[in-house]
A and B are shown apart, each in its own frame.
Chain A
Amino acid sequence: MGNDAVFRVDGLRKSFGHIEVLGGVSLDLHAGEVTVLMGANGAGKSTLVKIISGVYERGGGTMSLAGQDFALQDFAPKTPAEAIRAGVVTVHQNINDGVVADLDVATNLTLDRLSGSGAPTLFNPGRVRREAKAVADRMELTIDLKARISDLSLADRQMVAIARAMAHQPKVLILDEPTSSLSSAEADRLFALLDRLREQGVAILYISHRMSDIRRLADRIVSMRDGVISGVFDRKPLDYEGAVNAMLGRKIHLDRIVARNSARPVLTIEGLRIAEGSRPISLTLGDGEVVAITGLVGVGKTALAETLFGVRKPLSGTMVLNGKPYAPGSTGEAIAAGVFLVAKDRGENGIVGDFNIQENISLPFHKRMSRLGVLKRRIERATARRQIQELGIVCRSEKDEMSALSGGNQQKVMVARWMSQAARLFILDEPFQGVDISARRDIAAKLRASANGRATLLFVTELDEALETADRILVMSEQTIVGEHRNADIDLERLLAEVAGGPSQSAA
């Protein structure tokens, strides 16, 4: 290994505006080897993939691909089609981007030949079926070629998308989180297929957060963080915890917080199950404490947050809030009970783009700010002004458009929205995503300073964020809580092992 790189990225850079997303990435891919790329959200994985597959133009650095004589040649695709012709094929995260739902399997498998230059003008169904059969046989696909894609399961669609990609006989295959919507049995079929491709000598770059996938497939792990490669692991046995550590990062913080204990419970959860087949969750959150739940992407953090906020219903289990049974049927009921959620991905779930700062802050509390249905704008404006002051939101006035604010200030508005009224349980899902360091410090400090009178629960992927803000850290893996740590003299080795899951998992 290591002597036969078929694809090489060297010093790759990319910026969007002033923000540098890739700060010099170097990476080799080898024939017949699965390289797993790990990285938290915003680490730059997608940008890297999009440059390699010809969607984005690179900002600097070089890429090279092995030619016929196995010598590396310059590779600079200007369009996705060019990358595919050169032998670099990408299967994107969204399965339906790779197939045409209304056509049958055979047509999908031969789609690229129908549209390329030199393709026959007339459509010959017999030839299409013969060619499709050849592609399917090579991939050992057992799907009915006459079936319509929209009638297939997600896994079968994925197989078709990959088979279609493989019809180009690529040297490099890139898969971006291919199992994120597959069941474990479906994923097994995908892995078997990838094993065959590996044997055929394809270099595979596999992007995933799922530790079980990574353990099953990886010959080599590359961790990415903040736009650079933060660790390469290729010595057997692979150091999975090291890879997670390199991806999440861990700096020693001198300004560690003083962890508090709480005696008065606000929320008690017993035997709560949020996914089919997962182990139940039990936990207690106390008045005045800040608890962070950490874990990789896709382990059920958002599902738990949404269950607490009444967006989805638990499969089983009970919740008690303020000593009373709590089973919210809607977000409105949760809010009425004093449970507030700052949802993750503010652009999608939080910001009302047509509203200014003031209107965004007052959004959930119109009823409390109106009489006979008529909004009292004086109170609305006073509330917004107070919150802008409290959180140090940088703006000209409370009438500013949201689009005029920086990411950090937008997030402060989202936090301000829910801090404008007193909560009993205050939940924040990835509150530091796309937030600069100073805004992050401001928000964390505000959360801690105002923590009395409520329980505060954060969901964060980045360990640093948990260490900086929380009194207590819980670890989530496979839709359940697997570890608990008081944020004082934490055993980080054990915590990382719990995040990575697997055999070394503690019995907590």
Chain B
Amino acid sequence: MSSGWIEMAAARDLAIRYGFIVLLFGLIAYFAIAAGGFVSPQSAVFIFQSVAITGVLALGVTATLVVGGFDLSIGSVATSAMMAAAYVMVVLEQNAVVAVTACLAIGVIVGLINGWLIVYMRVPDLLATLGMMFLLVGLQRIPTEGRSIATGMTMPDGSVANGTFSAAFLALGRHRFDFFIPNLIPVSVVVLLVLAVLIWFFLEYTRFGRMMYAVGSNERAAELAGAPVKAYKIWAYVISGVFASIGGILLAARLGRGDIASGNNLLLDAVAAALIGYAVLGAAKPNAFGTAVGAVFVGVLLQGLTMMNAPYYTQDFIKGVVLVVALVFTFALSGRGKR
């Protein structure tokens, strides 16, 4: 009986550790056979491009998950940054550098306010960032009285906005680098990869990342080990805010306008990617590599289904199923329920 039990436990360990990776490759193999043209550089790039913005947001929210928090405001930070970029260039007629700076400043400020609310005002993380989400969704509509921003639009005071998105800014969304094949890799994919490597290195190899994990696992122990716990938590929200605003910049550059209606799915998709990441390699904790894999997983799934002509309205349902399965992997099977 006992040897059978040990084999079962070993098999379960393997399933927890490699289950999701195997599933990902299985999925790719299936689509490669079932959907013609799925295995091609263009298709791969398309998948990456489709997940670039949510991936960047997911990497940011991973930082808050690491310290045992959560950030629900990332989607609205991204859309606020997009609206701000459009406003700065179209209405204020400034250049790309000013627009990018304004967006990053929004990310930093929102992150600091979130951190302050959670650490000093003791508002629970979910509620603080939920409040911030509502606040930003409303705030981004005020300057234009709820209208989208595009060149030639009429302002509330009757004047016409004559500014344009600068070419340099639009390049962030539209330029493609040559990589063996000319015009292959979009800037947004490069940004995603660079940020993924950066945050992965930060969390895994620097003392700051290590201490953030300690704060998330046992805040009191981290404090008694001399860590400035409050500062670490606030920094996590700043990282999350800045990553979300970078996502917003990429979104604005792709759309070329400040579209009030876009970015609805950003929050849910990003959170799903980060939570799916828990299940990757049996980490059972937030981690940058897992988040990146989680984002790609969702991208592969949706791209494959689209190429097999699955209707668009089934997408959210499928994403939800994947998320629930991943959470079961993490919490029930590994028995390391935390958060």
Of B205, B207, B213, B220, the contact of A354 (CB 8 Å cutoff): B213
Q: Which of A328-373 contact B (CB under 8 A)?
A: 330-332, 334-336, 341, 343, 348-355, 359, 363-364, 366-367, 369-370, 373
- Complex CA gap A336/B228 in Å reads 13
Are the CB atoms of B226 and A374 closer together than 8 Å? no
Known contacts A353-B217, A354-B285; A375/B224 CB under 8 A: no
A391: Cβ under 8 A from any B Cβ: no
- Give the interface SS of chain B, mostly helix, strand, loop or mixed: helix
Chain B residues within 8 Å of A100, by CB: none
| A: interface residue count bin | 20 to 34
Contact B226 A354 (CB under 8 A): no
Decide if B208 touches A331 in the complex (CB within 8 Å).
no
Q: Is the interface of A mostly helix, strand, loop or mixed?
A: mixed
- What is the size category of the interface that chain B forms with chain A? 20 to 34
Given the interface pairs A330-B228, A370-B206, A370-B207, the reply to whether A363 lies near B214 with Cβ below 8 Å is: yes
Bound CA span A330–B222, Å: 12
For residue B211, CB closer than 8 A to chain A, the reply is: yes
Residue of A nearest to B206 (CB): A373
A187 at the interface (CB under 8 A from B): no
Determine the chain B residues whose CB is within 8 A of the CB of A334 once the complex forms.
226
> A335–B223 Cα gap in the complex (Å)?
11
B29 within 8 A of A: no
Bound: A335/B285 CA distance, A: 29
Tell whether A355 pairs with B214 under 8 Å between CB atoms, given A349-B220, A366-B207, A375-B207. Answer: yes
Given A351-B218, A352-B214, A355-B217, decide whether A343 and B224 contact each other with a Cβ distance below 8 A: yes
Q: Which residues of A contact B214 (CB under 8 A)?
A: 352, 355, 363
Task: Fill in one digit per residue for A82-97: 1 if any B CB lies within 8 Å of its CB, else 0.
Answer: 0000000000000000
B207 in contact with A350 (CB, 8 Å): no
- State whether the Cβ of B137 lies closer than 8 Å to any Cβ in chain A: no
Would you call B285 and A331 a contact (CB within 8 A)? no
| Residue B210, interface by CB 8 Å | yes
With contacts A348-B220, A352-B218, A352-B221 taken as known, whether A375 is within 8 angstroms of B226 at the C-beta atoms is: no
| A311 interfacial contact with B, CB 8 Å | yes
Is B338 close to A, CB under 8 A? yes
Complex Cα distance, B132 from A17, in Å, reads 48
A-B contact pairs, 10 of them (CB 8 A): A331-B226, A332-B227, A336-B226, A349-B220, A352-B222, A354-B285, A355-B213, A363-B221, A364-B226, A375-B210
> Which residues of B are interface residues toward A (Cβ below 8 A)?
205-208, 210-211, 213-214, 216-218, 220-228, 285, 338
User: What are the nearest 5 A-B pairs in CB distance?
Assistant: A366-B207, A354-B217, A364-B225, A332-B226, A335-B226
For the A-B complex with A349-B220, A366-B210, A374-B205 known, give 17 more contacts whose Cβ atoms are closer than 8 Å. Answer: A309-B224, A330-B226, A330-B228, A331-B223, A332-B228, A334-B226, A350-B221, A350-B224, A352-B218, A352-B221, A354-B285, A355-B214, A359-B210, A363-B214, A363-B222, A369-B207, A374-B206
